[in-house]
Structure 1
Amino acid sequence: MAVKSLLIGYDLNRPGQDYSSLIKEIKAFETWWHHLDSTWIVRTSKTTNEVRDVLKQHIDSGDELLVAELTGNAAWVGFNQTGSKWLKENL
């Protein structure tokens, strides 16, 4: 199965919610990028549905979670050299 880049975005809507288990699960992917508050990019051979199913175990029913496959076309501004380099190499 081919490795691809997936965008993960979430909003945990209950005040005081603990992000630690969700973040730990995302960081379990071998390759990840995180330069925006609730947005991550991971490299994986898993499908969007598989990633969603793993991550949804770490959020509440009132939270929102998006997992989308990236096409490789992107533009950005304001990231440091490390963040930009990662994007160039992994999108």
Structure 2
Amino acid sequence: MKKRYLITYDLNSKGQDYDNVIKAIKDASDGCWATYWKSSFLIRSNHSTANEIFETIKPYLDPNDRLIIMEVTSNYQGWLNEKQWEFVNNTIF
């Protein structure tokens, strides 16, 4: 069962590993993801828990980095342009 997750992070260490964190987030998706925000992703995933996704990303984080992963239900709202909403509604959900 596909689930949707919002992932947001701050990499606070010197020499942040953005490339590997972003790759791990994309790899945790089923290929459908959106990143219309700085340091945040909305993904569709086959992972059944946020913890499974966290374990994928964790190796690329330092102790003073910050990350939160939340499952997103069909109850969502925001401020995006029409094309972005179309992608979110038709691809992510």
- When normalised by structure 2's length, the TM-score is 0.84
Aligned equivalents of 2:58 and 2:51: distance in 1? 10
Matched, 1:60 2:62: yes
Gaps of 5+ in 1: none
Q: Deviations over 1:32-64 (max 9, x none)?
A: 111000110111121111001111111111111
Gaps of 5+ in 2: none
What residue is the counterpart of 2:24 in the other structure?
Answer: 25
- What secondary structure, in the 3-state scheme, does the structure 2 residue paired with 1:73 have? coil
What residue is the counterpart of 1:43 in the other structure?
Answer: 44
What residue is the counterpart of 2:72 in the other structure?
Answer: 70
Aligned equivalents of 1:63 and 1:10: distance in 2? 8
Is residue 34–residue 43 contact of structure 2 (8 Å, CA) maintained in 1?
A: yes
- Amino acid aligned to 2:88: L
Provide the alpha-carbon RMSD of the alignment: 1.5
- Amino acid aligned to 1:58: Y
- When normalised by structure 1's length, the TM-score is 0.86
Is residue 17–residue 60 contact of structure 2 (8 Å, CA) maintained in 1?
A: no
- Percent identity between the aligned chains? 31
Aligned equivalents of 1:70 and 1:50: distance in 2? 15
